[in-house]
Amino acid sequence: MTSTRTRLRVAAVGDLHVSRHSQGAFQPLFAQISGNADVLALCGDFTDYGLPEEARILARELTAAVKIPVVAVLGNHDYEAGSQQEIRQILADVGVTVLDGEAAEIAGVGFAGVKGFAGGFGRGALGPWGEEAIKLFVREAVGEAMKLEAALARLRTRQRVALMHYAPIRGTCDGEPPEIVPYLGST
């Protein structure tokens, strides 16, 4: 069946940092979003310490209040405890489409997502030179960019949304202290 929808209202939120004490805290926000948007995009750092317990609280909050499709990417906090696969599964079990180099179509709009990574922008971007640790750091940033590029290329939709936790362009970091900008994303 072909959709005749002429627009898709996307609500995007990141850095929720759900903690062990967050039960009930996000239901009003999610209910408002569910009533005013067609898709909810979760842009990472849903958990505070990357604990499955925190992800289960988020899953209950989403289940209680969200009646629209949810697409998500993990953030750095979601990796903190090394439980990112379990967090991903907890969210998937309640119907969230969690992207990590994958693409999904919702109501005729394509979504491609990755966590992204740090490293700076333009002439200020870290290059893969010198110590092996620097090369590994840059390799991580480049790998995330390549996953996003591949996911976007798989989409055959007219409209495409790139969903990330880290900033993909310097402009996204406007207003942040200049000394931390290289840690907020990468070209």
Once rounded to an integer, what is the mean pLDDT over residues 126-142?
A: 97
- Which one of 3.60.21.40, 3.40.50.2300, 3.30.230.10, 3.30.2080.10 gives the CATH number of domain 1-98? 3.60.21.40
Q: Residue 106 belongs to what H/E stretch?
A: strand 102-106
State the average pLDDT for the chain: 96
Q: For residue 107, is pLDDT > 50?
A: yes
Give the tens place of pLDDT for each residue, 39-92.
Answer: 999 999 999 999 999 999 999 999 999 999 999 999 999 999 999 999 999 999
- The domain segmentation of the chain, as residue ranges, is 1-98, 116-157+167-187
Q: Residue 10 belongs to what H/E stretch?
A: strand 10-13
Q: For residue 126, is pLDDT > 90?
A: yes
**Residues 141-153, buried b or exposed e (16+ Cβ, 10 A)?**
beebbebbeebbe
> Could you give the CA distance from residue 155 to residue 140 in angstroms, rounded to a whole number?
23
